[in-house]
Amino acid sequence: MTVAALNAHLDAFEHALGEQELDNAEAILGRHDDALHALLQQPIDPAQASALRTLLQRQQSILGKLGIQREAAASLVREGQRTTRAVNAYQQAGALP
């Protein structure tokens, strides 16, 4: 496995996320993780080290973006729950004599 192939995994992962293909994104990320671990078990030559550092920085950037998206989704879920509770309270209040 090469760093270029690992970057291709990240490209495919970002594309799958953008298309909301979450099962595919999960599978791609699993393959990426396995391949990255396999690469890290091998001796890394100095020429490859710089490319690997760049890959890991890119990976961290993607994880940061995912964290932001996760927080945004959680906020939407909480807002939906508040709305549901408000609707239920309104319905109960309207049902009282």
* Contact between residue 18 and residue 56 where contact means Cβ atoms under 8 Å apart: no
Encode the chain (97 residues) as per-residue pLDDT tens digits.
Answer: 899 999 999 999 999 999 999 899 999 999 999 999 999 999 988 889 999 999 999 999 999 999 998 899 999 999 999 999 988 988 888 865 4
* Contact between residue 1 and residue 27 where contact means Cβ atoms under 8 Å apart: no
pTM of the model: 0.74
d(CA 86, CA 17): 33
d(CA 94, CA 97): 8
d(CA 79, CA 14): 27
Between the alpha carbon of residue 95 and those of residues 81, 83, 85, 92, the distances in Å are: 21, 18, 15, 5
User: What pLDDT shows up at residue 7?
Assistant: 96
